[in-house]
Amino acid sequence: MTKVAAIDFETANGSPASICSVGISVLEDGCPEEVYESLIRPEKNVRWFSRMNIRVHGIQSQDVEDAPDFAQVYKEIVPLLEDSVVAAHNARFDMGCLKASCLNCGLPVPRVSYFDTVELSRRVFPNLAHHRLNDVCDYLHVELDHHKAGSDAYGCLMIVANIMNLAGIYDINELLEQCSTRIYHL
């Protein structure tokens, strides 16, 4: 069984490099775990917090003053991602944040394979009116503290775990193939 790592980022503003929080949950040997969560102090060139983003996630500049910067967090998260198939809800956003933050800090962009749980949930639950993370989690009775990176990553992972149980397929590559869900590469 291939390991699945679900990731979620929150940003300080409209720049994808302004990551201010990350959460990662891992599904290994059939056991979902909340593995990693951290606030992040954005780099100086993207360190301003927009009112809109604060309204979404509640994180403000004073909350990240003593938080590690992205380079410090990078050392923690990359090993979790590199030996996994990565899942994210609206993966283009999260993978864009990862790539932009790496480039902004002069760090190598990790080589990861990833898929989007929005696409997966649309294939498996086509009758849902919306496929937002909170809507799919509500449908599956998964508790969610929405826009908290750790909770969102765990909710994303629980979508995958629930679909695996529903389909009776526990290999992520086989599941994605059966559900016509594409794997992308960063």
**CB atoms near residue 141 (< 10 Å):** 8
Q: What is the pTM of this model?
A: 0.95
Contact 136, 152 (CB under 8 A): no
pLDDT (tens digit, 9 = 90+) per residue, 5-58? 999 999 999 999 999 999 999 998 878 887 899 999 999 999 999 999 999 999
pLDDT (tens digit, 9 = 90+) per residue, 71-129? 999 999 999 998 899 999 999 999 999 999 999 999 999 999 999 999 999 999 999 99
Strand partners, 25: 6, 34
CA distances for 171 relative to 91, 115, 164, 168, angstroms: 20, 14, 8, 9
Domain residue spans in the chain?
4-185
Q: Which two tokens stand for residue 168?
A: 């009776």
Which fold would CATH assign to domain 4-185? Nucleotidyltransferase; domain 5 (3.30.420)
Alpha-carbon distance of 5 to 20, in angstroms, equals 19
What pLDDT, on the 0 to 100 scale, is given for residue 29? 81
Q: Which two tokens stand for residue 110?
A: 């990790």
Q: How confident is the model at residue 1 (pLDDT cuts 50, 70, 90)?
A: low
Alpha-carbon distance of 142 to 151, in angstroms, equals 10
What pLDDT, on the 0 to 100 scale, is given for residue 32? 83
At 96, is the secondary structure helix, strand, or coil?
helix
For every residue of 139-161, DSSP letters joined together read HTT----TT-HHHHHHHHHHHHH
